[in-house]
Amino acid sequence: MVLTFGAMRALLWLTLFFPALSASADSKFPDQLLSFRASLLNEHAHVTYNIDEIHNRYPKALLSEESLLPQTSVYPLKDIRRLYQAGEKCQGPWPVSPRVTDPLVFTRAMCNKTELPIGWFARSNLIHPGGGSYASRFAQLFPGRMDELLPYFHVRERAQADKDSLLGRLQSMPEGAVDALAAGATSLLSGDELWMRDNDNYRIFPSDTWRPYLENLGLQISMWNNTSYCLYQSGNICWNRQGTGAYWSWVAAILVIVNLGAIGGWAFQRWRSNRRVMQERMLVLQILTHELRTPIASLAMTVEGFRRQFDALPEGLYGEYRRLCDDTRRLKQLAEASKDYLQSRQQTLNTEAIPSVEEWLEYVCEPHDIVPSVLEDRSVNVNVYWLTTCVDNLISNAVKYGVQPVTVNADTTSGKLIIEVQDQGGLTAKDWKTIRKPFVSERGLGLGLTIVESMISRMVGR
């Protein structure tokens, strides 16, 4: 990050300020922490785990949530793309970079249906470039080897274990606690359980054991994050004395000064990295769309099995069976449409006739409890799937972020299909220029309005 001179002066002032702030804290605070730890370790722990045993059985790669996502920060982007494309066809050109040796060996083995020795999984870095473990993907091709491959599965890929077991605790552990556990922190917080390190063991205490000691000593703890103010930080825990909230105003003011000074460097760095980020995210979408096709095909086979035994189904399950069929069809249609969107963005879309605009629009608006108004109903030729998706996205955005009431109107009198989705909020041209960009939303992927604009354009509309 590039900092302006003003930002560097602010950082210097911040460095000089914090020692004075720390010196003003109660000198008894370290003694309180030591007293809390000593008192708690004298209590009977709910359960105790050896640290070496945890790390040997569950390395960080098999615990971290990031391991379930495409590994674009680990492998070169161009090599991942080439490997992904070659794996689709099971033929070259294959990547030649030594950094993708393990993924290359694995992909070729999957294409050739060659069984890899169990030692290969132990020697590899465990996680596939597309996210998830090599072992779980391999077990799908060779289900008979499930038992020996299970130790190399990510904890979230395994069946849900009992919540009081080690695996059950690791499956429910937040990401910050996983990082603290991997680093061997002296303490960490997972749910209501406090993990306290005692030499080579972690002793785990429920909240009704540790909380009374905390209150009696006048201490308070919370989950640590980058903006937390802490008198002491250990693992994922932020330790403070009760009543230290007044420090937050000072911290907030300091952060404002630092951020204002660094904004120029941040903007420049973001401009340089924007194209790479966009490429990585589009690759992630391509990989995720591809990975969805396998479970969708499996689900379709299951539905087909139910269809052949339809007469044997209890009558009470007919409704559930119909919903299963409809959802499977929609998933398959979505996967194929998304594949076309990501791989053939310049092609025009096929169209089909909608006999009645009014009936179709009522169907789209029904889940949102909106009654549309249609001026002169008639038949139109459109791409039904993408037009339905676009209108639904606009209505969803109006309902979530706009001001009620939301209205939907359609007009075909001019020989064109004009659809208007309106709420009562304010939206300027500058706002629209920002929110229609992909990945700007703080909730979800932020692709809704981007898809609307792109697909309407490909349907020769605006």
Distance in angstroms (rounded) separating the CA atoms of residues 408 and 34: 64
pLDDT at residue 315, as a whole number = 77
Specify whether 454 is located in the same domain as 356: yes
405 or 290, higher pLDDT: 405
Work out whether strand 407-411 and strand 373-375 pair parallel, antiparallel, or are unpaired.
parallel
Specify whether 446 is located in the same domain as 377: yes
Is the per-residue pLDDT at 2 higher than 50? no
Question: Which ranges constitute the DSSP H helices of 309-440?
Answer: 318-343, 357-365, 384-401, 429-435
pLDDT at residue 35, as a whole number = 92
- Domain boundary among the residues 343, 368, 402 is at 343
Specify whether 223 is located in the same domain as 299: no
pLDDT at residue 85, as a whole number = 86
How confident is the model over 285-301, as a mean pLDDT?
A: 73
Specify whether 165 is located in the same domain as 307: no
63 or 324, higher pLDDT: 63
Specify whether 81 is located in the same domain as 210: no
- Domain boundary among the residues 306, 322, 343 is at 343
Rounded to the nearest 10 degrees, how much is the dihedral formed by the CA atoms of 207, 209, 210, 214? 110
118 or 11, higher pLDDT: 118
pLDDT at residue 178, as a whole number = 93
Specify whether 225 is located in the same domain as 259: no
Q: How confident is the model at residue 299 (pLDDT cuts 50, 70, 90)?
A: confident
Specify whether 48 is located in the same domain as 165: yes
Domain count along the chain: 4
User: Which of 19-33, 268-282, 430-444 has maximum average pLDDT?
Assistant: 268-282
Specify whether 358 is located in the same domain as 441: yes
Q: Domain of 318: which CATH number? A: 1.10.287
Residues in the chain: 462
Tokens describing residue 305: 């099995």
Specify whether 427 is located in the same domain as 360: yes
Is the per-residue pLDDT at 310 higher than 90? no
Specify whether 130 is located in the same domain as 47: no
pLDDT, tens digit (0-9, with 9 covering 90-100), for 235-253? 899 998 886 555 555 666 6
Q: Domain of 420: which CATH number? A: 3.30.565.10
Domain span at 388:
352-458
Specify whether 271 is located in the same domain as 329: yes
Specify whether 364 is located in the same domain as 452: yes
pLDDT at residue 336, as a whole number = 67
Structure letter (DSSP) for residue 129: T
Structure letter (DSSP) for residue 237: E
